[in-house]
Amino acid sequence: MLSIEYVYMSRTGKVEIDYTIVPLNELGKEEAALVKSALQARFTAHAPYSNFQVGAAALLADGTVVAGSNQENRSFPAGLCAERVCLYHASSNYPDTPIEMLAVVAFPAKSEVAEPAHPCGGCRQVMMEMQHKQRRPFKLLLLYPNDEVLVLEKASDLMPFPFESEI
Ligand SMILES: [Zn+2]
């Protein structure tokens, strides 16, 4: 009688991502303009509960810039992060125009000092799906305090082991 024996062996691995931190005044012209758009967008945040204003701006392949800000709601789950407001707007109004890059900034209300704006897990998953939909990655720019910008060439680098396979 044939018997099949399965042997499971433990393995280890390591996930590494490439990133660059660039002073805001040393960013490329397009990148700097997009961060500026995100800075403007944060003033439209509706954030009476977190007092945390987030702005996002996406540069599309045809040069269009789409911006969004966090929109909170008394019914908390009904609110939405700035990144998703921005990306869903881009996807619904410019469905055939790929996103080239996304800039995100975050500030505590009444402060001019940025907080590191690392996107939440839900937004990372949405970025992953947007890349998958357009069949190419987009760049991610996150404003840090002291006017430094974290740059990732692929937004999906923030999402190892994603629910949907990486492009
Ligand atoms: Zn989010």
User: What is the overall mean pLDDT for the chain?
Assistant: 94
pLDDT at position 117: 85
Measure 97 CA to ligand 1 centroid, in angstroms: 22
Cβ contact 105:143 at 8 Å: yes
Choose, from 72, 83, 100, 129, the residue flagged as catalytic.
83
Tokens of 108: 């505590």
Measure 5 CA to ligand 1 centroid, in angstroms: 45
pLDDT at position 1: 61
Overall average pLDDT of the 146-158 stretch: 95
pLDDT at position 8: 82
Residue 150, number of CB atoms within 10 A of its CB: 18
Measure 96 CA to ligand 1 centroid, in angstroms: 23
The CATH-assigned architecture of domain 20-158 is 3-Layer(aba) Sandwich (3.40)
Q: What are phi and psi of 48, to 5 degrees?
A: -75, -15
pLDDT at position 6: 75
Q: How confident is the model at residue 120 (pLDDT cuts 50, 70, 90)?
A: very high
Q: How confident is the model at residue 162 (pLDDT cuts 50, 70, 90)?
A: confident
Measure 8 CA to ligand 1 centroid, in angstroms: 37
Does the pLDDT at position 166 exceed 70?
A: no
Does the pLDDT at position 2 exceed 90?
A: no
Measure 67 CA to ligand 1 centroid, in angstroms: 15
Does the pLDDT at position 163 exceed 70?
A: yes
Is 83 part of the annotated catalytic residue set? yes
Which H or E run contains 127? Answer: helix 121-134
pLDDT at position 4: 73
pLDDT at position 110: 85
Q: How confident is the model at residue 167 (pLDDT cuts 50, 70, 90)?
A: low
Among residues of the chain, what percentage have pLDDT more than 70?
A: 96
Cα 97 to chain center, whole Å?
A: 18
Query: Which letter, b or e, does each residue of 57-95 get, where b requires 16 or more Cβ atoms within 10 Å of its Cβ?
Result: bbbbeeeebbbbbbbbeeeeeebbbbbbbbbeebbeebe
